[in-house]
Amino acid sequence: MMLSASSLAESDTRWRRRRRKFRYALRAAAALFAALLLWLGWLLMRIESFHGVPASAPGLRADAGIVLGASLWNDKPSPGLQERLDLALKLYRDGVFSSIIVSGGLDSGRASITEAAGMRNYLVEQGVPENAIRLDNDSYSTYDNLRYSRRIMEAEGWRTAVIVTHRYHGARAADIARTLGYDPVMVSVTESSVMNMNYHTTREVLAFAKWELTKLRLAFG
């Protein structure tokens, strides 16, 4: 059956409209993808450019140090976590702070004690008096680390803290601390010689993106 000229024209018009809509949708998707890449690149720049407060900064003092948790291996600090603890030990021995908060919950079934307990045990073995250490055993994220550590600070009457972590983690930790009302925000960081930094930096970009979205949700209730 032959289609009339008007039917053919109408069919051609519909096809052209669908093709035009598809092109618009494709361009919009490409623009969104480009914007996402730019945003992730900006977060990566923030991560890479962060250097924190130098451990040797003149006059660096705080009421406490806060060591952000990481995994345990056989109930002992992993090599990466030990790097954070060793920086905290240096600051403690240099007199930057006289009390230490260790923050981290149970490590996904791979340990029988919390990250905080494993960190406390390591510090005690290195000569830190147990009564100088406070434990946050409930945290499962950096946000929780700093939120629960702040509660400990308030209970102890401590106002200032130096947050101790790795450099790749420092920018997000500082931003979370600022959001939670830490004042001043002091983050002291260490490089890692034992961690796969390509993996951890990539993971941190995604974690930072998630935090930025969480921050928006918190701001708008």
Calculate the average pLDDT of the chain.
92
Q: 165-204: buried (b, 16+ CB within 10 Å) or exposed (e) per residue?
A: bbbbbbbbbbbbbebeebeebbbbbbebeebeeeebbeeb
Tokens 């977060």 sit at which residue? 43
Note whether 161 and 153 are within 8 A (CB).
Answer: yes
DSSP annotation of 69 reads P
Question: How would residue 205 be classed by pLDDT, with cut points 50, 70 and 90?
Answer: very high
**What tokens appear for 35 in the block?**
């914007």
pLDDT of residue 115: 97
pLDDT of residue 26: 85
Tokens 């004042």 sit at which residue? 183
pLDDT top residue among 154 and 23: 154
User: What is the pLDDT averaged over residues 88-99?
Assistant: 97
Q: Can you say whether the dihedral through the CA atoms of 158, 164, 169, 171 is positive or negative?
A: positive
**What tokens appear for 52 in the block?**
């924190």
H or E segment at 219?
Answer: helix 197-219
Q: How much is the pTM?
A: 0.89
pLDDT of residue 10: 67
Q: In 31-174, at which residue ranges do the beta strands (DSSP E only) sit?
A: 64-68, 72-73, 76-77, 100-103, 133-136, 161-166
Domain 64-219 has CATH 3.40.50.620: yes
